[in-house]
Amino acid sequence: MLSKNKNPEIKISNISKYFNHKVAINNLSLNIYKGDLITLIGPNGSGKTTLFKIISTILSPDSGSLEIKGLNAVKKSQLLRNKIGLTSHESFLYKDLTIKENLLFIGNLFRVENIEKRISYLSEKFQMKKYLDKPIHTLSKGLTKRATLIRTFLHNPEILLLDEPLSDLDMESQIVLIEFLKQESSNNKTIIISTHQIELSIDLKTQIAIINNGKIINLLSKTPSSISILKKIYSESLKSGVAG
């Protein structure tokens, strides 16, 4: 996407996705390189979540091609899933199981080595150690979100897809998450964040992709210096309509 001369880590070529004949992703193309940190911003229903579901191989595109690490993501989805971590609006956690039981279950599916150690490290990082034996249905939204984030990072994925990662988190947890993402980014992880909280892109100094009507309408390779400039670019991009 930016300056890179290597092969893209994620190569999205003219993909489209329809739900009941209604377009959700419209001929979208985007190259994302290893180590990129990108924020995806756009209005509700612009296609952010669908795009994340396609990249995470939960959904297949109706047309176009998606390559991840040089592999066809539709045909080789099983191989690639180990390398992708997805946080969605849904928690992906079993409400009648404790946090630890959930993490052990998911960790075993992902064949995580030293799983207890990894759970201990992440739960300490996100201040969840004392809640590990609590069932999910007894937790507040914020604690459930923290458990969801631990689940996402559990198998140490190389590509992180975070859909509204800050929602439901208190200020302290948001700071912890931002620091963690900075650390992951410095470890050359590819991180894509979808958010309405555009200040996050300033905090993390990310590249910014503006999406509307299932298309990327603007791509900023450099983070604007202030939120007000970003807001101006955002509204102008939406007004100017669809690019390609």
> Which residues are at the interface with other proteins (CB under 8 A)?
56-58, 60, 78-79, 81-82, 84, 86, 88, 90-97, 101, 105-106, 108-111, 151
Q: DSSP for 78-146?
A: HHHGGGEEEE-SS----TTSBHHHHHHHHHHHTT-TTHHHHHHHHHHHTT-GGGTTSBGGGS-HHHHHH
* Residue number, 90 or 130, with CB nearest to other proteins: 90
HSE (side-chain half, CA atoms, 13 Å) at 118:
19
Q: How far apart (Å, rounded) are the C-alpha atoms in residues 162 and 80? A: 17
* Residue number, 84 or 193, with CB nearest to other proteins: 84
Residue 185 CB, nearest distance to other proteins (Å)?
A: 22
* Residue number, 84 or 204, with CB nearest to other proteins: 84
Q: How far apart (Å, rounded) are the C-alpha atoms in residues 83 and 10? A: 12
Cα of first residue to Cα of last residue in the chain, in angstroms, is: 14
Residue 103 CB, nearest distance to other proteins (Å)?
A: 11
Residue 109 CB, nearest distance to other proteins (Å)?
A: 4
Residue 137 CB, nearest distance to other proteins (Å)?
A: 9
Q: How far apart (Å, rounded) are the C-alpha atoms in residues 175 and 58? A: 30
Structure tokens at 194: 């979808």
Residue 183 CB, nearest distance to other proteins (Å)?
A: 23
Residue 148 CB, nearest distance to other proteins (Å)?
A: 10
Contacts of 112 (CB under 8 A, 6+ apart): 118, 154, 155, 156
* Residue number, 49 or 207, with CB nearest to other proteins: 49
* Residue number, 58 or 198, with CB nearest to other proteins: 58
* Residue number, 139 or 220, with CB nearest to other proteins: 139
Residue 56 CB, nearest distance to other proteins (Å)?
A: 6
* Residue number, 102 or 206, with CB nearest to other proteins: 102
What sign does the CA torsion over 82, 201, 225, 244 have? positive
CB 169 within 8 A of CB 142: yes
Q: How far apart (Å, rounded) are the C-alpha atoms in residues 10 and 73? A: 9
What residues are paired with 219 via a beta bridge?
209
